[in-house]
Amino acid sequence: MNRSPIIVALDYPCLADAVALARQLDPALVRVKVGKELFTREGPAVVEALQNLGFELFLDLKFHDIPNTVAAALKSAAALGVWMVNVHASGGRRMMEVASEAMASISSPPLLTAVTVLTSMNDQDLAEIGISAPAAEQVRRLALLAKDCGMDGVVCSAQEAPMLRDTCGDSFLKVTPGIRPVGADAGDQSRVVTPPDAVAMGVSHMVIGRPITRAASPTRAVAEIIQSLQSR
Ligand code: C5P
């Protein structure tokens, strides 16, 4: 089984590009993530193509709807045989409870994680939609709720991981984007953390896109990240 904490974000517009990159990666060393852009265009075919290459796949569609609709969508995702799926924790208790019940009703279900507060949102954005709590407090509240509703973990920023380790425990998954290997370009990510620091902060899985997908050698980029984790 793949025990690597690395999930490569295949943020491409089409199946051919995603598969071309994936062919340069080793499914024993990384998992892959397919998001809304690629899945909306290519659908289950892209999931199948990547699985045929041997990859475990995080289908990052962040479902957020009424409980019945989310449960049905999750069952459709599970039927694709994906490794992880996710919802928005702000869909609330009933939505997440029904979601985890739906997963419990099938054999070998995917891991189910919840997005707490989008890291693109700051305290002012939250206030504008009627949430007066600071982002960190809202993250904590939603993570505890997600755990109580049977989620396997949350998607969060690495900065939040130590606090979530204290409140939700080590085994509650913390899946984190915004990771940049030492010396890599931060791009449009404003608060970045290196892979060894992320692990030290309690992150269980790191989502890494461009530092791998746009590297001159994606294979070497992965090897260097793994090396940095081993020597930490
Ligand atoms: O290329 P990069 O490493 O920045 O890619 C990060 C991936 O994580 C992208 O797929 C991006 O959409 C996703 N993501 C993020 N920040 C969040 C949530 C998801 O960058 N808060």
Probe residue for ligand 1, chosen from 207, 208, 214, 222 as the CB with the greatest number of ligand atoms within 8 Å:
207
Mean pLDDT of 169-179: 96
pLDDT given for residue 182 in this prediction: 79
Between 20-24, 68-72, 154-158, 186-190, the lowest mean confidence (pLDDT) is in 186-190
pLDDT given for residue 1 in this prediction: 55
Mean pLDDT of 42-47: 98
For residue 209, report the distance from its CA to the centre of ligand 1, in Å.
Answer: 7
Provide the phi-psi class of 64: left if phi over 0, else alpha when psi is between -120 and 50, else beta.
Answer: beta
Question: Where along the chain do its domains lie?
Answer: 6-230
In ligand 1, the atom with minimum distance to the C-alpha of 115 is 18
Query: Among 31, 63, 1, 12, which Cα is nearest to 205's?
Result: 31
Between 140-144, 152-156, 187-191, 216-220, the lowest mean confidence (pLDDT) is in 187-191
Which CATH number applies to 6-230: 3.75.10.10, 3.20.20.70, 1.10.3720.10, 3.40.50.2000? 3.20.20.70
